[in-house]
Amino acid sequence: MKKIIMSSFGLLAAVSGMAQPTLTYAKHGLRVGDVHQTRRVTTAEPGASGANVTWDFSACKVTGDVQSEALERSGEHIAVRNDGNVLFQFDATPYGNDYYGYAASGYSVVYENPALKTRYPFGFLDQHSGEFQGYIAQGNSKTTVEGTYSSEVDGYGTLKLPNGVTLSNVLRVKTTEVQKRLYGSVVSSAEVKYLWYSQDFRYPVFVTIEHGSDLKEAKDANRSSYVNVAALSAPAVAVSNTGNKQQAASVNLPEITYDIYPNPVKDAAAITYKLPYDAKVSVAVYTITSACVRKIVNNEFQTAGEYAYTYTPATPGTYFVRFAFGDKAYIEQIVKK
């Protein structure tokens, strides 16, 4: 699937010296074939909401192994399958992500009236809410489930992660879900998520989850936090490329498209991109320990046109490809099976 790089010059309005980021389907939408990896870290308080916030999680310690979520096609939906073989189902469109429930060993939760998790575009102070309804199927029995949900972009600013990684232009999304199940009597549960999104990574770079039998309990206890492996393990390339946006705010550059396929890769991956204008280009491959294993294009001036390269990972594992076009940089993950 092709990735489209939209120039942010002229699209992001500067507020208090910082450009406001926005979640878009092109940059942050679910994509079949991706593998999103996280690691659990020591629990972090979600911190403040608002504009130009600095969230400092640099003191968090990694406490868990790598957890993978593979995105695949499941009928008409996109499914996110985790290491525990739980399948979460979404209807992902350019307008948003509808959540249809999940399936695990022996039972499934089906939302006939789904919950809208994310709306595109989604910027600071945007919010939406609604109700969901469905059932829990286990064997031959069905239990009614219903509830409410809300999602809001409650902050943007700078995010500090372990390993000395600092990301600017980060957006925080807060989601709340209150579920009621009818087991003869009503059983309630609540979950609050804080998700931090970078403009340089497709999936959340940091997540804090609060859960309990009600909203008060969820906020008082039962908190867990996770960091994106790509952001945590690639500090040498996980830098914010803000460039000089104030001076270039009136420039509207054409789109750049790039692609890596197949991904995951069994043998060789084709790395391609199309330049609509002349630019300085760098393309390099890094390991999860930030070691550069291949410089495919080393800060070369390239004229407008299509370019194609091949990269064969030496051993199975996770790698990161960093594209730099002028003063904009983007990171894509490759998984070698």
Condensed to tens digits (0 to 9), the pLDDT of residues 219-247 reads 556 889 999 998 886 544 443 333 333 23
Task: Give pLDDT, residue 184.
Answer: 58
Whether 44 and 154 share a structural domain: yes
Q: Which position has the token pair 């000089």? A: 244
Domain presence at residue 186? yes
Residue 307 domain-assigned (yes or no): yes
- With 0-12 / 13-18 / 19 or more C-beta atoms within 10 angstroms meaning exposed / middle / buried, residue 239 is middle
Same domain, 124 and 17: yes
226 and 274 belong to one structural domain? no
- Where does the pLDDT of residue 12 fall: very low under 50, low under 70, confident under 90, or very high at 90 and above? very low
Structural tokens at position 184: 């003869």
pLDDT surpasses 60 at 196: yes
Distances (CA, A) of 203 to 23, 24, 230, 337: 10, 11, 10, 21
Does 126 lie in the same domain as 64? yes
Q: Which of 90, 85, 82 is nearest to 105 (CA)?
A: 85
Residue 185: exposure state from Cβ atoms within 10 A (0-12, 13-18, ≥19): exposed
- Least confident interval from 10-19, 161-170, 172-181: 10-19
β-sheet bridge partners, residue 283: 297, 323
User: What's the whole-model pTM score?
Assistant: 0.68
